[in-house]
């Protein structure tokens, strides 16, 4: 019985840092409010000449190098993003070209599940690997949210950041790898968070087409779903909350992470927190947090890792991995 195992990770954050104090000069907000309500101190913002696939490429190159494989050996590239370079082609194809693997011709596709995009992409990669349809898959979570943020709306502008995280998944028949996962969506909640630009719905541009979020309602629903889906994945795998060594949650709000950990009876010290210096990077937040935790030695061989994510509008999921 095969499963997918993460053999290497990579990450990339754009050079420019936007602090809460910088935001104080741009809008009616305060460092105190942002830190207290979200846990965020600063976020990274892509340069004007960087697009989403550039960020993805940097993170992917690092992951490939650490895995010791070249891009032409990949069977598939899956990119979780809601901020693509353009409508066509998908980020995964731009990425394939930038990695110099176009001629090798592996499958390449984007998955738009907003902040749950990385978990959706990982679960899809696992299904391909389990079925024997692929052996080596590059999974990326990447966003350039700064391009679709409404900088006139303080309730959303202070939250989001840009970045990319990548993982190389390979076929494994041992104990390590993805043990269980569960994905959900409920389109009835589309109004909670919407960015209606760049599609067939709205031709006009301007702030109307940028991100709008009903933050308060999203918060409450997120906590409930994250708790339930995490419990469900643990039950499916026969793993008790106390057996979890590390939680790598989506970094939307430190208060959401804390509430979910408390409900699951998992100590906050086991949760990887990057929100203070990354902000909310949507689909990039989990792979960036994972990469940082691996680099810092917070994750070691044999650890049981719980992932969970909640995104627009609305998607959610959880995954259990034996590292």
Residues annotated as catalytic (active site), given as ranges: 115, 250, 280
The only residue of 113, 142, 158, 166 in contact with ligand UT7, by rule CB under 6 A: 158
Q: Within 10 A of 266 (CB to CB), how many other CB atoms are there?
A: 18
Q: Per-residue contact track with ligand UT7, 294 to 323, x per CB under 6 A? A: ----------------xx------------
Residue 79 touching ligand UT7 (CB under 6 A): no
The only residue of 19, 29, 228, 232 in contact with ligand UT7, by rule CB under 6 A: 29
Please, which residue, 40 or 95, has the CB nearer to ligand UT7? 40
CB of 147 to ligand UT7, least distance (A): 17
Chain-centre distance for alpha carbon 189: 20
Q: Give strand pairing partners of 322.
A: 177, 304
The only residue of 7, 99, 137, 222 in contact with ligand UT7, by rule CB under 6 A: 222
- Hunting for tokens 């960036």 — which residue is that? 288
Joined together, the tokens standing for residue 315 give: 């998607």
Residue 149 touching ligand UT7 (CB under 6 A): no
Chain-centre distance for alpha carbon 58: 16
Please, which residue, 19 or 29, has the CB nearer to ligand UT7? 29
Residue 219 touching ligand UT7 (CB under 6 A): yes
Please, which residue, 166 or 260, has the CB nearer to ligand UT7? 260
Q: Tell me how many residues contact ligand UT7 (CB under 6 A).
A: 22
254's enclosing H/E stretch is helix 254-264
Please, which residue, 115 or 247, has the CB nearer to ligand UT7? 115
Query: CA 147 → CA 166, 198, 286, distances in Å?
Result: 21, 12, 20
Please, which residue, 121 or 253, has the CB nearer to ligand UT7? 253
Residue 89 touching ligand UT7 (CB under 6 A): no
Q: Residue 98 in contact with residue 54, Cβ under 8 Å?
A: yes
Q: Distance between CA 191 and CA 312 in Å, rounded? A: 9
Residue 253 touching ligand UT7 (CB under 6 A): yes
The only residue of 215, 236, 298, 303 in contact with ligand UT7, by rule CB under 6 A: 215
The only residue of 252, 260, 261, 288 in contact with ligand UT7, by rule CB under 6 A: 252
Joined together, the tokens standing for residue 154 give: 């303080």
Joined together, the tokens standing for residue 56 give: 């993805």
| Residue ranges in 162-201 that form contacts with ligand UT7 under rule CB under 6 A | 193
Closest C-alpha among 286, 257, 231 to residue 117: 286
Q: Give strand pairing partners of 99.
A: none
CB of 310 to ligand UT7, least distance (A): 6
Please, which residue, 155 or 198, has the CB nearer to ligand UT7? 155
CB of 159 to ligand UT7, least distance (A): 6
Q: Residue 3 in contact with residue 134, Cβ under 8 Å?
A: no
- Describe the chain by its helix, strand, coil percentages, rounded to 5: 40, 25, 35
- Residue with smallest beta-carbon separation from ligand UT7: 215
Please, which residue, 4 or 115, has the CB nearer to ligand UT7? 115
Q: 285-295 and 117-131 are packed helices; what angle lies between their axes, rounded to 10 degrees?
A: 80
Closest C-alpha among 319, 11, 9 to residue 177: 319
Joined together, the tokens standing for residue 318 give: 């959880």
Closest C-alpha among 184, 306, 299, 185 to residue 234: 306
Q: What is the contact surface with ligand UT7 in residues (CB under 6 A)?
A: 29, 33-34, 37-38, 115, 154-155, 158-159, 193, 215-216, 218-219, 222, 252-253, 256, 280, 310-311
């Amino acid at each position: 019985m095969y499963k997918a195992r993460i053999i290497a990770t990579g990450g990339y954050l754009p050079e420019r840092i936007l602090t809460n104090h910088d935001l104080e000069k741009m809008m009616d907000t305060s460092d105190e409010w942002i830190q207290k309500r979200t846990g965020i101190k600063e976020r990274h913002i892509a340069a004007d000449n960087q697009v989403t696939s550039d960020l993805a490429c940097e993170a992917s190159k690092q992951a490939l190098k650490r895995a010791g494989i070249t891009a032409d050996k990949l069977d598939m590239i899956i990119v979780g993003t809601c901020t693509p370079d353009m409508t066509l082609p998908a980020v995964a194809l731009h990425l394939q070209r930038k990695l110099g693997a176009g001629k090798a011709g592996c499958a390449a596709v984007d998955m738009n599940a907003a902040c749950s995009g990385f978990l959706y992409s990982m679960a899809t990669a696992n299904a391909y690997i389990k079925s024997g349809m692929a052996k080596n898959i590059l999974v990326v979570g990447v966003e350039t949210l700064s391009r679709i943020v409404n900088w006139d709306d303080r309730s959303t502008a202070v939250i989001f950041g840009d970045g990319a995280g990548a993982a190389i998944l390979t076929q494994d028949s041992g104990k390590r790898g993805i043990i269980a996962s569960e994905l959900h969506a409920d389109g009835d909640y589309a109004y909670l968070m919407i960015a209606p630009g760049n599609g067939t719905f709205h031709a006009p541009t301007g702030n109307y087409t940028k991100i709008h979020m009903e933050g308060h309602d999203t918060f409450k629903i997120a906590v409930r779903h994250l708790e339930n889906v995490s419990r469900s994945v643990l039950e499916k795998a026969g793993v008790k909350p106390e057996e979890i060594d590390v939680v790598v949650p989506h970094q939307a709000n430190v208060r959401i992470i804390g509430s979910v950990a408390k409900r699951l009876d998992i100590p906050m010290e086991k949760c990887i927190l990057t929100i203070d210096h990354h902000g909310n990077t949507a689909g990039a937040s989990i792979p960036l947090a994972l990469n940082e935790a691996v680099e810092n030695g917070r994750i070691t061989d044999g650890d049981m890792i719980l992932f969970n994510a909640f995104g627009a509008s609305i998607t959610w999921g959880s995954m259990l991995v034996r590292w």
